[in-house]
Amino acid sequence: MDTLLVRRVESQLAQLPVALALRLPGGQRLGPPAAKVMLSFHDWTALATLAAGQVGRLAEDIVENRVELQGRMRDVMAIARGLLPGAPVNSDTHWWTQVMRRAKSLASHTPHKDAQQVQFHYDVSDDFYALWLDRRRVYSCAYFRDPGMSLAQAQEAKLDHICRKLMLRPGEKFLDVGAGWGGLLLWAAERYGVTATGITLSKNQHAHVQRLIREKGLEGRVRMELRDYRDLDESAAFDKIASVGMFEHVGQANMQAYFGKMFGLLKPGGLVMNHGITASNIVPGELGAGMGEFIGKYIFPGGELLHVSHVLREMATAGLEAVDVENLRPHYARTLWAWSDNLEERVDQAAQVLSATSSPDNAGRILRAYRLYLAGCAMCFEQGWICLHQILATRPDGQLQTGSLNGAQSAYPFNREYMYAGDGGTVH
């Protein structure tokens, strides 16, 4: 037994906001008898990881069953926050680090690798996601316009919030880049009367939305394609474009090409909404304490976050004019806690669902990873370590008389009243 290590850990336990007990490799128990959370260690290396505050690496030990976890996820995350030596926000500004990060980004985001990475995450199991998402399977930040809203109501409020911001009108051509399970795509077509096209790299999502289109009789008005955004034909310009929870997969090195593509696909005077997770740190990087590595290994391989200022710069470079920026960070914290709570209520069912498409060992690994991921991200958004921004932009048409104000050069009215007043121009 490493006596110094044990003493260090005992000191940490006494300072945690939630009581934690540990069972050491030799069977010794540390911590209060009525602890809310129990960690059982099978080797001393994992205990040293805990002592160092490397919560991401400790999470990996839990996923790989080197450490067994018992306790509520909300209590587990309170303990994780207490173990961290500080905010896990990367601040490495060394030029060589940034050069290497950009080179890695380029290598990680070829069309082939992006397809593999998206399918790794989204094609785990549709039935698994259905256990903890709302009935529309909207897998992005909800909008709790009213604090008393349920998750399902807040997701519908988010869908409508985006459609209102885009000023969708019947007959317009609308593109949803990274359309997921079709929540926004179908909402826009059914409620706002647009002709909608969605794209995804997920085979499961594509099949699901194709089925919904047939069931709803929307053939001819709604189309879902299994396609990379880079392969879209710019000659078929769209009146309005939305990209929700997608540009996190694009990569820093491809941002100019991504927003350049949005510019090319958008009609002059049109509107584009970019809704996605952003970093709290101005310098590109990932969460420290092993947290970024954990997400990259088990959840989102290839995911990269940029500060909103970086995103705005890339949009401007592409010729898009940002006209409205809204931070929904605490909304995503609440969304993630709702997903986490839903999964915690259905852990046994989730294990059965995952075992239907994977080996028992791998099913257990996936379930442990997602339990930690959802709760961990909820904590990160609450703490302000990562953010969520909706950025509405235009492609100015160069005509000073376009719009309600001289010089608007787009459909945007340059006030926010239209986003909240009336019925949002819906059709029923």
Task: Look up the CATH number of the domain holding residue 310.
Answer: 3.40.50.150
Please identify, among 23, 49, 83, the residue that sits at the C-terminal boundary of a domain.
83
Whole-prediction pTM value? Answer: 0.90
pLDDT band at 96 (very low <50, low <70, confident <90, very high): very low
- Which one is catalytic: 163, 377, 380, 387? 377
Residue 111, pLDDT above cutoff 80: no
> Do residues 68 and 109 both lie within one domain?
no
Higher-confidence position of 226 and 284? 226
Is 189 a member of any domain?
Answer: yes
Shared domain for 339 and 404, answered yes or no, is: yes
Range of the domain at 223: 101-420
93 pLDDT more than 50: no
For residue 36, the domain's CATH number is 3.30.1050.10
Q: Is residue 51's pLDDT more than 90?
A: no
pLDDT of residue 424: 47
Number of domains observed in the structure of the chain: 2
* Three-state secondary structure string covering the chain: CCHHHHHHHHHHHCCCCCCEEEECCCCCEECCCCCCEEEEECCHHHHHHHHCCCHHHHHHHHHCCCEEEECCHHHHHHHHHHHCCCCCECCCCCHHHHHHHHHHHHHHCCHHHHHHHHHHHHCCCHHHHHHHCCCCCCCCCCCCCCCCCCHHHHHHHHHHHHHHHCCCCCCCEEEEECCCCCHHHHHHHHHHCCEEEEEECCHHHHHHHHHHHHHCCCCCCEEEEECCHHHCCCCCCEEEEEEECCHHHCCHHHHHHHHHHHHHHEEEEEEEEEEEEEECCCCCECECCCHHHHHHHHCCCCCCECEHHHHHHHHHHCCCEEEEEEECHHHHHHHHHHHHHHHHHCHHHHHHHHHCCCCHHHHHHHHHHHHHHHHHHHHHHHHCCEEEEEEEEECCCCCCCCCCCCCCCCCCCCCCHHHHCCCCCCCC
- Tell me the pLDDT band of 53, cut-offs 50, 70 and 90: confident
| Same domain as 170, residue 42 | no
- pLDDT tens column, 230-272: 999 999 899 999 999 988 888 878 899 999 999 999 999 999 9
* pLDDT tens-place string over residues 291-337: 778 888 888 776 778 899 999 999 999 999 999 999 999 999 999 99
Is 322 inside any structural domain? yes
Judged against a pLDDT cut of 50, whether residue 373 lies above it is answered with yes
What pLDDT, on the 0 to 100 scale, is given for residue 94? 46
Query: Do residue 108 and residue 18 come from a single domain?
Result: no
**pLDDT band at residue 427 using 50, 70 and 90 as cut-offs:** very low
User: Quick one: 36 and 178 in the same domain?
Assistant: no
Among 83, 117, 145, identify where a domain stops: 83
Q: Is 377 a catalytic residue?
A: yes
Least confident range of 77-81, 150-154, 278-282, 349-353: 278-282
Look at residue 43 in the predicted model and tell me its pLDDT: 86
Is the same domain home to 349 and 393?
A: yes
